[in-house]
Structures are given as structure tokens and as C-alpha cells.
Amino acid sequence: MWNACAVSAIRCTGSGASPAATATWKCRTRVTVRAPAEHVRNRLPPGITVEPLGDNACVAEVGSNTPQMLASYLGMLDADFEVTEPPELVAAIRALADRYRQAVSE
């Protein structure tokens, strides 16, 4: 499940405002996830936009306060994904992947 910290910066204004529409995240991205949209929706807070790309892929618009936090949250989707920008997020994902690889190396 998506950690509540991921949405701690969301501010809603007016009645019926979508949390994703008024989020104040410092790091945002569109991520392609190789999983059905329903799988991804079940792991994200309500209001996050998830667009199907066929039966086994989707695009989600996500964000967090830092690239490092967002890199961690993306790993919790429990699915393969692809991120190409922003460069700070790409670097954070690479650093996290290296850290995990080193944690289990022999």
C-alpha cells in the first residue's frame, strides 16, 4: 500500500477538489507501469490519475516531496516501471537500485 507520507503535502481547496489536482509535490513524474491499471490504482491514494495502456500497462501521474521518496514509493507498486524524467528522480532510482543490489550481493 502507498505510504501516507506520499500524500502529506496534498492540499484540497473548495468542495469536491481532487487531491491529485491540488497536490503540492516538489517532484512529479508520469511513470509507465507494466501492470494493469486496476493493479496500480489499488496501490495509490485516491485521486491519482492512472490511464490504461492496454490490458497490461498504464501511465500514472505521481509525485512526492523528494526524488528519493518518490523512488521508494514507485518500488512499492510491486510492478515493473519506467521513468525517464526528471533527471533527479532517475538518479535517485539508480542509487536505490545500487543500494538494494549491494544489500544482497555475495
58, three cell numbers = 498504464
Segment 53-78 shows an average pLDDT of: 95
* Spatial distance between the Cα atoms of 25 and 80, rounded to a whole number of angstroms: 23
- Tell me the pairing of strands 58-64 and 50-52: antiparallel
23, three cell numbers = 497536490
Segment 45-60 shows an average pLDDT of: 95
pTM here is 0.74
CA 60-42-56 angle, to 5 degrees, is 60
Q: What is the pLDDT of residues 33-49, one digit of tens each?
A: 999 999 999 999 988 99
